[in-house]
Structure 1
Amino acid sequence: MFKKKIRVSSGVSQLDRQLGGLFIGDNVVWYDSAGSLASIFSLNFIQESQRQNKALIYITFDRPPKSLLEDLGPLAENQHLTILDCFTHGKGDGSEVFSKFYEKDGARWPYQIVRINSPGDPEVVSDAFYNLHGTMTGDVRFVFDSLTGMQDLWGGEEAIGKFYSRACPRLYELDTLAYWIMEKNAHSERLRANINQIAQVAIDLSVNRGKSALTILKADKRRPDALNRPLVYWNDGLDVVFETETGKGGNIDLGGRVKEIRNRQSMPQKELAALVGVTPSTISQIESGTIYPSLPALFKIAQVLNLPVAAFFENGSTAVDQVVFSDGGTRINLPNLSKRDVTGYRLSPADFDADAEPYLIEIPAGKKLSTHFFIHKGQEMGYLLQGRLELKIGNRLHQAGPGDVIYLTGELPSQWKNSGEETAKLLWVKIRK
């Protein structure tokens, strides 16, 4: 009987969509052409594993424990993490500089660090992590950092190929999930081809003209649309954002998405620019596609518009299947109206693509508005929850009280007035034409 494949996340949602997710049993090889690109994906993998309370063994050949702990940051302080130190008595040559870590700091850490005294022997290393695995339950996760470091210590590609060809199938049968990192240019095409043949997933990371790119080389039992096609991405902290998504219409119009979401919130370019800390001309050029925003600017734009950065790179809302929204609404700007006279809240997410857009409009007692809330060509309707309102359309005045419905199909009101003694609260819906 075949085992049912269990799909899990890599911790990077857009990678999951491009790849088709990870399966328990996968050995994922990361070919890093710059030597530093795979780290962000490993960190997300570790974070996701910890979120699921999964045991993870990190085998380090290239970095001493102290340096690795600094890179892991808060992720290091987790009871499910075990570090297998193959550096101190490997590339570190047992130097007192590195050994002092165990005398001074090692005993005080809240995680487990296991020092391997003979990391130059592949069998010793194998026995160490298999023995550790035997003490753990569930689908244990592994990060091997790195195959290149193993090769430097073990004396050539033949040893690496032999070790990998044995470990990969065994880890698969043990229902683990393993990341293997290697510096692409430090190994021959022959070795890479042999590793690709055994691995379930192979991913290439490169830098071209200052842009980082991810290319899916292999994905067993999955059919990624982007196979063998570079996908440009960037990261800020642990957030990874792809410039394009395949299978959803090709290239994403970043500037167009910024403009669309800004307009849905009725925010002028000038105001967005002031809140982001750039010139209105910069926002105009971003929205027209003339320039790309810097990474800090992009994250600031997302913060101001109150949505995740990923929303700029998706054709349609991430909330397309969501039924209930519980964030209480997002305050918006109403053009040409004073904030003292009226307050507006959008009740659905800014990136939610629907035929009806609900808002809550609040007008304090005694306030008069000299124009309508929105410039909208479609139909609009509202339900007065509280208070009394007077609206003027053409030469006619209309009165509305609690429970009344207001329906607009053509000419917009030229004036709104709160004629009551309490704040008027109006549930308002814009309907697409």
Structure 2
Amino acid sequence: MDRQVAQVAQVAERIKELREIMEVSPAELAGEIGLSEEEYTKYENAQLDIPISVIYGVAAVLGVDPTVLLSGESPRMSTYTITRKGKGMSIERYKEYSFSALAYNFINRDMDPMIVDLLPKDAPPELVTHKGQEFNYVLEGKVTVLFGDHKFVLNEGDSIYFDPKVPHGQMAEYGFARFLTIINE
């Protein structure tokens, strides 16, 4: 089993276990986060990769920090946290998209800063939605941002701030790309 598949299975198991402890039915949780029970069950059984928006939604409904679902650990720091270069909590969403959470250890954070690494892929990314606001700043390469009916190509030093309730996704343009994203939910 490759690393990414194992991570999805671990996150799915944590979600299922917490949902059962909280005595929330799959149908109830699915409805709260705006999914059909069938789609939700596929995520919980690790039949589909779990979008970060679903992880955030589940965490909000179950009253836990997303870090608990992603890592199995609770954040510990309440006044500050330092993340050294290359030491963020790394998550590989799929082969062409991985991120490193930079504030995962801070309790009750309002923002989630992450470094996202993108490899080129043939197909456009699956578009996602979530609550809050999002900021992306390109650190390296070119990033294509699909936002609703729009397509923006951002170069190093470019940024975009947007309402993530609009379906969106990012992909590398012409090679490896890296960007900083800050999500406020």
Q: Which residue of 1 aligns with 2:80?
A: 322
Answer 1 or 2: which has greater helix percent.
1
Contact 2:96 2:121 in 1 (8 A): no
Q: Which residue of 1 aligns with 2:21?
A: 286
Pair 1:419–1:413, CA change in 2 (3 A): farther
Q: Distance in 2 between matches of 1:324 and 1:350?
A: 9
Deviation for aligned residue 1:377: 0.9
Contact 2:110 2:184 in 1 (8 A): yes
Aligned-partner SS, 2:135: strand
Q: Distance in 2 between matches of 1:366 and 1:273?
A: 25
Answer 1 or 2: which has greater strand percent.
2
Q: Distance in 2 between matches of 1:394 and 1:349?
A: 29
AA at the equivalent of 1:284: R
1:395 to 149, 152, 158: 149
Q: Which residue of 2 aligns with 1:158?
A: none
Contact 2:137 2:159 in 1 (8 A): yes
Q: When the two structures are aligned, how many residues end up with a matched partner?
A: 136
Aligned-partner SS, 1:403: coil
Contact 1:379 1:409 in 2 (8 A): yes
Give the alignment's Cα RMSD to 1 decimal.
Answer: 3.3
Q: Which residue of 1 aligns with 2:71?
A: 305
Deviation for aligned residue 1:319: 0.8
Identity of aligned residues (%): 17
Q: Deviations over 1:130-164 (max 9, x none)?
A: xxxxxxxxxxxxxxxxxxxxxxxxxxxxxxxxxxx
Q: Which residue of 1 aligns with 2:159?
A: 405
- Aligned pairs for 1:212-251 (under 5 A) are none
Structure 1, unaligned runs of 5 or more? 1-266, 291-301, 312-316
Q: Distance in 2 between matches of 1:368 and 1:350?
A: 34
Contact 1:382 1:428 in 2 (8 A): yes
Pair 1:387–1:305, CA change in 2 (3 A): same
Aligned-partner SS, 1:387: strand
Aligned-partner SS, 2:19: helix
Greater C-alpha Rg: 1
Deviation for aligned residue 1:356: 1.1
Tell me the TM-score normalised to structure 1 length. 0.27
Q: Which residue of 2 aligns with 1:272?
A: 11
Deviation for aligned residue 1:342: 0.8
- Aligned pairs for 1:136-215 (under 5 A) are none
Q: Distance in 2 between matches of 1:356 and 1:378?
A: 9
Q: Deviations over 1:142-192 (max 9, x none)?
A: xxxxxxxxxxxxxxxxxxxxxxxxxxxxxxxxxxxxxxxxxxxxxxxxxxx
Q: Which residue of 1 aligns with 2:113?
A: 358
Aligned-partner SS, 2:153: strand
Contact 2:81 2:103 in 1 (8 A): no
Contact 1:368 1:416 in 2 (8 A): no
